[in-house]
Amino acid sequence: MSIRPIHQEDFTESSFEDVETSFVRDAYTKFTRRDGKQSDAVHPPIKNQILPTPTSTTSSNATTFSSHNHDLVVTNSSRSDIEEKTENDEDDDNDFFSDFQEFRNNKDDFDEAIKDKYQLLKSIPTQSVKPNLLSQTFEKKLNLGSHEKVLRQPRSMYELQNQMRYRSEGPARTTQGLSTKLKNSMSYSALTNPKLNNNYRNNNIKVKKSMPSLSSYSPVIQEVNDETYTFNDLTSMENNSGLRTFQDNSDEEEEDFLDFTPEAIKSQFLTKASNKSVQVPSTQYNIINDDHYLTPQLRDKTRKLNRREQLLAFNETEPEIQSHTWQNKHYQNTASKIETIKQQIDYNTPIKHGRMVYNAETMRWEGNEKALEKFQNMDTLSNNAMLIKGRKDFFDNNGESLSGKGRRNLQNPSVVGKMVFDEKNLRWVSLHENEIDPFEGMDDTLPTLIRNNRNHDPQRTSPSFPRSYSQKNPAREILRPPSQELLKFRSMGRMSNAYSRQGSTLSDTKSLFQVNSKALEGFYHNENKWQKKVGGWFSLPENGIDSTFSDIPNESLITSDKNKNYMYEIRNMVLNSRSR
């Protein structure tokens, strides 16, 4: 059984009926202690003024506000934190099922009942109440003073007695005293204490949060009471964070800005009085006054997008609890280890399953094309091109987001690895300012030889191509005017073919140098290939190559299978390298 943290807004309906005076104060103390952390953080000023909805003695047996449930709450709220943590699996699973209406009756969860009721109360006025006018009306009525009794007459001597007692205590009341009296009627005490009311008037209440009283008595007063307790809650939240603050225990907190469907609520809470209270003229609405209280349908679309901190509001589990071992144990108990069913057959094997046939070539199941027809009338993503852009406001205060490394780099889409995108100059720059530029000192001018100087005299352009001088490679010399020395290499391997394709008539100077870049690329590839194969075999002296190759009678002999002289050359190379 779970007891959800007290949310102040949950306690707006305390005076709709006579409340049970036997409500145990100790139980309340323990009840609040359980979520003490959150209460302290969010509502420090009014922490001690809250009372959970006491059990109504006049409610029917059909409601969940029965005495039985009351007992249940007291019992549950008396549990210590430790007991709470050692709850067994079943308790947790009950919590799982608490979201199902069908299981609720079995569960008898008092808090759920409060939640239900609160949903009902909240849902209607958020659509129908204009806060300003209501607050003005409220203030007017407060100022009338003597009319208070007209607004709500004490129904019994008992109530009258309480009223007199409150007045006699006056402003000297302590917080403790207030809460003690409040257990009988919170709204009543709020109204009868002018000092208390002044506080709320100064808050400039603009929001009517909850529905008027379920009770058939004094609906106006009930509204006042709601405001006093919900608005304080709101202001304390805003002062603390400025964000929508929700408790971690998911479902209930999300109600604040969620849609509400009446069928989810048990019908026993729908009293006639509640229906009457909805009848507020629509002209009194001011929907953009406070986004916090607007229903989704009315919400201003220009509201700010969720920020990372706000994700906590949607969190399903409390981070603190998550770290506790008990929960992990729970998961271990109920969870199996991951198993993988691996491919039994090759994915190239065609399969047939019912009306579907697996096409191994396209790697998809074919058939059931009708299913796609339904999508045709839809505005598909392909029709409306989507541009994925980062949020601008992410860079407004990018001090953290740029320097801090996020959970993932995608967290800030403009930071990938150690690079950040400079939107002004449209380039990626390093996050570290003193990044070493490996190209520092290098000449920016790149060789433009091939394209621009194609028709020029190659002898003049070749010096601007440094690579041609970096190696003593005969193939590089093709850019030079043909010489007799070069011709000796032209039949070496494949290069000779490429070479001869372009310069079949070597004597013709013009045709020789009209090589396109593709051919040149081919030359380089072939050149490198041969350089790898035979580059180490021959050493070319600077002054010429005749001496080296003078003893090679014919190129055909080198590659000839019959002539094994080159094998001897290889043998010598290997032997020499070993001896070294």
Partner 1 sequence: MPNSSPADHEPIPDVRNQVDLQIGLVGDAQVGKTSLMVKYVQNIFDEEYTQTLGVNFLKRKVKLHSTDIVFSLMDLGGQKEFINMLPIAAVGSSVIVFLFDLTRPETLNSIKDWYRQVKGLNDIAIPILVGTKYDLLINLSAEYQEQISTAAIDYANVMDAPLIFCSTAESINVQKIFKIALAKIFNLTLVVPEIRDIGDPLLLYKELGNNIQKVKQSKSPQRLS
Nearer to partner 1, 126 or 135 (CB): 126
Rounded to 5°, the CA angle 429-434-435 comes to: 55
User: Tokens 């007063």 correspond to what residue?
Assistant: 221
Nearer to partner 1, 107 or 183 (CB): 107
Nearer to partner 1, 146 or 377 (CB): 377
Nearer to partner 1, 103 or 158 (CB): 103
Q: How far apart are CB 105 and partner 1 at their closest, in Å?
A: 12
User: For 442, phi and psi rounded to 5 degrees?
Assistant: -85, 150
Q: How does 472-490 read in b/e, with b if 16+ C-beta sit within 10 Å? A: ebbbbbbbeebeeebeebb
Q: Name the CA dihedral angle for 198, 203, 206, 209, rounded to a multiple of 10 degrees.
A: -80
Nearer to partner 1, 160 or 264 (CB): 264
Q: How far apart are CB 57 and partner 1 at their closest, in Å?
A: 27
Nearer to partner 1, 16 or 246 (CB): 246
SS3 track for 477-533 = HHHCCCCHHHHCCCCCHHHHHHHHHHCCCCCCHHHHHCCCHHHHHHHHHHHHHHHHH
Q: How far apart are CB 333 and partner 1 at their closest, in Å?
A: 8
Tokens representing 450? 């091939």
Nearer to partner 1, 172 or 410 (CB): 410
Tokens representing 484? 């007799």
Q: How far apart are CB 85 and partner 1 at their closest, in Å?
A: 15
Q: How far apart are CB 216 and partner 1 at their closest, in Å?
A: 27
Nearer to partner 1, 15 or 98 (CB): 98
- Dist CA 242 CA 229 (whole Å): 19
Q: How far apart are CB 532 and partner 1 at their closest, in Å?
A: 37
Q: How far apart are CB 448 and partner 1 at their closest, in Å?
A: 41
- Dist CA 73 CA 59 (whole Å): 17
Using only the alpha carbons of the chain, give its radius of gyration: 43
- Dist CA 450 CA 103 (whole Å): 81
Nearer to partner 1, 240 or 328 (CB): 328
Q: How far apart are CB 326 and partner 1 at their closest, in Å?
A: 12
Could you give the count of Cα atoms lying within 13 Å of 205 in the half-sphere of its Cβ? 29
Q: 32: Cβ–Cβ under 8 A, 6 or more apart, which residues?
A: 6, 39, 47, 50
- Dist CA 445 CA 546 (whole Å): 37
Q: How far apart are CB 11 and partner 1 at their closest, in Å?
A: 19
Q: How far apart are CB 53 and partner 1 at their closest, in Å?
A: 18
What's the first-to-final CA gap in the chain, in angstroms? Answer: 84
**Kind and range of the H or E run holding 429:** strand 427-430
Contact predicate 210/128, CB 8 Å: no
Contact predicate 465/447, CB 8 Å: yes
Nearer to partner 1, 97 or 158 (CB): 97
